[in-house]
Amino acid sequence: MNMRAIGALQVSVIGLGCNNFGGRMTLDETATVIDAAIDAGINFFDTADVYGGMKSEEFIGQLIGARREKVIIASKFGLPIAGQSAGASPAYIRSAVEASLKRLNTDRIDLYQLHQPDSAVPIAETLGALNNLVQAGKVREIGCSNFSVAQLREAESASHACGFVRFVSVQNDYSLLQREPEAGVLAECERLQIGFLPYFPLANGLLTGKYRKGQPLPEGTRLSKGIRAEETLTPRNLDVVEALIGFAQSRGHTLLELAFSWLLARPAVSSVIAGATKPAQIYANAAAANWTLTPDDLARVDTLLVQPA
């Protein structure tokens, strides 16, 4: 497994998204996935205090044990938990980190991320509180999520002006089917040397290859019914998926491998975060990073993504 940098951290280019732990997955099921991830060379585990009704952090804390030095634990704060107020105020950050540290059964969080911007709190106040956590050794690096170019620049300016630690990562929605970060955030990450972490790299499962045009939907998946399925499984998206499958197969690869390798072809991308509910998915995700796309491959993919609306 190749490694890339997020600040002072060296993380596997495929990360493990832990949002299913404690929700869709029991403790025993989580254990098999964590074991497989470590076996496959994945050292970057991304969770959040809200995941799995706060069970995700607890499961990780119970299961990592003596392997703590082998993994990089990233967590997030800022979203409401059980209907309670949250955000990015210094007081809330101080309480949130202590709760996460207890659930994770660890003395530090390697990458502590603001889950979403908080317009009610000046970013300098948030950074000041995070700076204190780094100085206290409770956090190693800090990051953010769902930030725009303007918000990244504001945070960078505040860090520089106040002498605080800076965001070394940003985690936004990015995939073959959701390319908004290309409008500026990716370039800003390169300029500021901020690691970009794509979430939903498989577009809620659409880029796994399980959903095919003209074929019945697989049962029991997140896109088998509901508004998310209606918004995602559009005729245009399914046409794009068929075109991408054809391209990947012509190169001896799968759609999954294309989805991950295409993201890793972006210099700003540090790690592709992908969830898994079974060990087999872990091994497939880990192997998907092994395809190095050529400039011609990337150009061809661009043409396939431009399908009629």
| Residue numbers annotated as active site | 51
Q: Where are the alpha helices (DSSP H) in the chain?
A: 27-39, 55-64, 90-104, 123-135, 149-162, 185-192, 227-232, 235-250, 255-264, 279-287, 295-305
Around Cβ 178, how many Cβ atoms within 10 Å? 16
Two tokens at 14? 């495929």
- The three-state secondary structure class of 128 is helix
The strand pair at 3-6 and 9-12 is best described as: antiparallel
Q: How far apart are CA 21 and CA 14, in angstroms?
A: 18
| Closest alpha carbon to 117 in 178, 179, 157, 167 | 167
| Closest alpha carbon to 226 in 214, 217, 215 | 217
CB-based burial label for 247 (10 Å; 0-12, 13-18, 19+): middle
Fill in the amino acid letter for 184. G
Q: How far apart are CA 309 and CA 306, in angstroms?
A: 9
